[in-house]
A and B are shown apart, each in its own frame.
Chain A
Amino acid sequence: MASTYTPIATTTLGSAQSTVTFSSIPSTYTDLVVVSYAQTTASSGSPSINMRFNGDTSAVYSMTQLYGDGTSAVSARVTGQSFVYFANIPNTSASAWGSGIGSIMNYANSTTYKTVLSRSADATFYTIARVNLWRSTAAINSVTLYEGSSGNFSTGSTFTLYGIKAA
């Protein structure tokens, strides 16, 4: 049987830190999946885990989201961003942890812009479905994740990058 869901890299934080980077991503897969189990060291709020490809900090990312806060459902869109909104994470106050699952389709092609489809589960703040676009035709060879409120990810936060092959 073909091996089609293969861990490329994983990091479990032994101490709080703000950034995790997966570099030298091989081009041999069809799609990528990023999975996070994380918490912010902040004591309030639900910051986002932001993502960048190939270290690109230019304003070429856009995002549409549908989210629920337990009271109402809202859809919103932002353009001209310098990062992907991947997932939101709980703070330390409730000892809660959140999960994020994102798919990056056809990441290694050099013809099309890249799309990220993700869902985010923070039971203390938001449930979110998102689509992000990176307006670049470059093949993705690195993925950087960072805590979006200028804080840190808590010790024990885990981030994993999987490769999926179509054949």
Chain B
Amino acid sequence: MADTFIKIASVTVGAGGASSIDFTSIPSTYTDLCLKFSGRCDTVDNINITFNGSTTSYTTRYLYGSGSAAASASASTQYVGATNASTYTANAFGNAEIYIPNYAGSNNKSISTDSVQETNVSTVYMVLDAALWSNTAAITSLSLAPSSGKYVQYSTATLYGIKNS
């Protein structure tokens, strides 16, 4: 019987941090991609995604809660979610799951992300994000990066391929 949730690659950031976490040469043999991320940034608190090196044609619409209120926003950016920033409680990392169905298909790409921050203060965010990359190319590479700064040591990301047959 098929085993269909398969690790393609995993990255753990080393000493000195990394301005991006990159997955290249993604095979087209799966149906969907699922990326699991545990991270912390040395400056800001966001996760931005780049497919195939392209920085255009992204839109995002997200729903978020701060611990005291819920809100929603949209933008034409590569934002897909939140993670922990440098001011957060030491050693605390944020988590995210990024799901990309039909990533190798010839229609525009939909991205669904569930991300959380956590730290010992009153305001932290959980974010549910819907993103669209209006590009019909198959996704062969992807990068996660904060809008500035670096992901710190021990941040990890694992890319899984999911087959529907």
Interface pair B62/A37, CB less than 8 Å apart: no
For residue B163, which residues in chain A have a CB less than 8 angstroms away from its CB? Answer: 7
Q: How many residues of A contact B (CB 8 A)?
A: 43
Interface pair A124/B132, CB less than 8 Å apart: yes
Of B1-9, B14-22, B41-49, B116-124, the one contacting chain A is B1-9
Give residues in B with beta carbon < 8 Å to A: 1-5, 31-32, 59-65, 70-74, 99-102, 105, 107-114, 128-132, 134, 162-165
- Check if A1 is an interface residue, CB within 8 A of chain B: yes
Cα distance A35–B110 in the bound complex, in angstroms: 12
Interface pair A123/B130, CB less than 8 Å apart: yes
For residue A125, which residues in chain B have a CB less than 8 angstroms away from its CB? Answer: 61
9 A-B pairs, CB-CB below 8 angstroms?
Answer: A95-B107, A95-B134, A97-B102, A97-B110, A121-B112, A122-B130, A123-B131, A124-B132, A129-B63
Which of these, B64, B70, B72, B111, contacts A121 with CB under 8 Å?
B111
Shortest CB-to-CB span from A162 to chain B, Å, is 7
Contact A156-B63, Cβ < 8 Å, known A72-B72, A127-B128: no
Cα distance A75–B102 in the bound complex, in angstroms: 30
Shortest CB-to-CB span from B89 to chain A, Å, is 26
Ranked nearest first, the 3 interchain pairs of A and B with the lowest CB-CB distance are A68-B72, A68-B63, A70-B74
Interface pair A66/B63, CB less than 8 Å apart: yes
Interface pair B72/A70, CB less than 8 Å apart: yes
Within 8 A of B (CB), among A1-32: 1, 3-7, 10
Within 8 A of B (CB), among A99-131: 99-101, 119-129
